[in-house]
Amino acid sequence: MTAIRISGTALADTLRAEVAQGVSRLQSTTGVTPGLAVVLVGEDPASQVYVRNKIKQTEAVGMRSTHHLLAADTSATALLALIDQLNADPAVHGILVQLPLPPHLEAKAVIEAIDPRKDVDGFHTQNVGSLWTEGCGFVPCTPLGCLHLLQTVRRDIAGLHAVIVGRSTIVGRPMAALLLNESCTVTIAHSKTQALPALCKTADILVAAVGRPQMIKAEWIKPGAIVLDVGINRIAQSDGSTRLVGDVDFEAALAVAGAITPVPGGPGPMTIACLLANTLEAATRMASA
Ligand code: NDP
């Protein structure tokens, strides 16, 4: 068996094109241009790359993008004052604070300060609660992208057993809620889980969100399973260069899985596309409020 490769790059292109159409429809019917404000504190190189990408793609779909690049020693008071200002700005429909924040800033307090209607990352407690109670708040972008990817190969997933390896608040937990809402039977695994390989082997849907290169082996995968690999890990090669790999041993898994996302080119591109979709949704809701 050779698994279907689920392309996040292709699906993200499609979603971005749909968002661009939605933006121009919103502009022509209401005069509103969706605006995303991106806040970056400090100079973490990886965060700078993510933020540049987000700004570029926001503008490419016709949205307004503002960015706020703050010094690493910015105080909590100054950051919260900026969030207040963005909450009050009617031209801003989505607010994204790039994580991680420098150690002296408490991410939770900053996220809770964002108006939940503008929390397009879906991290505010109100949106988290909404997801777990099947409400209509914003869903975190990476798990939302994973669900879209999964639905390209199988629409009806009710009753399937999903095993999610990783229980972070940005990937594992919201992924579990999304799959539960789709009537999957969900198991969440983490670093204390026992007999992980055997557990993974029971999964019809296996989501890897660990951050350990190629940890999940082909022997852990149930034949025909759908595998979503969220991990992004940079590993050194023998020639001194580096390359990105996921949490799954992709090449070996291809022979066992029914469908699998690659890294790069899997959930990664879908994350930003879902951020744009959430921002359009925020602007649409505010325009009709
Ligand atoms: P976290 O570090 O927050 O969480 C990792 C999770 O993996 C934890 O729940 C941890 O368990 C669990 N874990 C660690 N080691 C093991 C192990 N040996 N066996 C089982 N579980 C283990 O990571 P994130 O959720 O933020 O990210 C996970 C990966 O996804 C990373 O590679 C990250 O770069 C990538 N990522 C990709 C995104 C994208 O856009 N595609 C977006 C966000 C993240 P415990 O809770 O017990 O410590």
Query: What CATH number is attached to the domain comprising 44?
Result: 3.40.50.10860
Dihedral Cα 166, 172, 177, 183, nearest 10 deg: -60
Q: Which atom of ligand 1 is nearest to the CA of 267?
A: 41
State yes or no: pLDDT of 1 exceeds 90: no
Query: Which of 6, 123, 191 to probe ligand 1 with, by most ligand atoms within 8 A of CB?
Result: 191
User: Is pLDDT of 251 > 90?
Assistant: yes
The tens digit of pLDDT for each residue in 155-200 reads: 999 999 999 999 999 999 999 999 999 999 999 999 999 999 999 9
The model's confidence at residue 278, banded by pLDDT at 50, 70 and 90, is very high
Same domain, 99 and 158: no
**DSSP letter string, 27-58:** HHHH----EEEEEEES--HHHHHHHHHHHHHH
260 within a domain of the structure (yes/no): yes
Among residues 115, 132, 155, which one ends one of the domains?
115
Q: pLDDT per residue over 76-113, tens digit each?
A: 999 999 999 999 999 999 999 999 999 999 999 999 99
Contact status, residue 205 vs residue 226, Cβ threshold 8 Å: yes
Q: 47 lies in which domain range?
A: 31-115
Token pair belonging to 41: 């504190």
CA distance 88 to 37: 12
- Residue 189 alpha carbon to ligand 1 centre in Å: 11
For residue 71, being part of any structural domain is answered with yes
Same domain membership, residue 164 and residue 75: no
Same domain, 86 and 157: no
pLDDT digits (tens, 9 = 90+) for 201-229: 999 999 999 999 999 999 999 999 999 99
Asked if 248 and 208 touch (Cβ cutoff 8 Å), the reply is: yes
pTM: 0.97
- Number of structural domains in the chain: 2
Residues tagged active-site = 54, 98, 121
Beta-carbon contacts of 103 under 8 Å, excluding residues fewer than 6 positions away, are none
Query: Is ligand 1 within 6 A of the CB of residue 231?
Result: yes
Ligand 1: distance of its center to the CA of 38 in Å? 24
- Same domain (yes/no): 145, 249: yes
Same domain, 40 and 146: no
Quote the percentage of the chain above a pLDDT of 70: 100
**For position 226, which CATH number holds?**
3.40.50.720
What is the residue with the minimal CA distance to atom 30 of ligand 1? 231
Please choose from 98, 144, 210, 245 the residue to mutate so as to test ligand 1's pocket, defined by most ligand atoms within 8 A of CB: 210
- 70, β-bridge pairs: 41
Q: For the chain, what is the mean pLDDT?
A: 97
- Looking at the structure, do residues 261 and 145 belong to the same domain, yes or no? yes
Could you read off the pLDDT of 21-58 as tens digits, one per residue? 999 999 999 999 999 999 999 999 989 999 999 999 99
Following DSSP, what letter does each residue of 233-289 receive, concatenated? EEEE-TTS-EEEE-SB-HHHHTTT-SEE--SSSSHHHHHHHHHHHHHHHHHHHHHT-
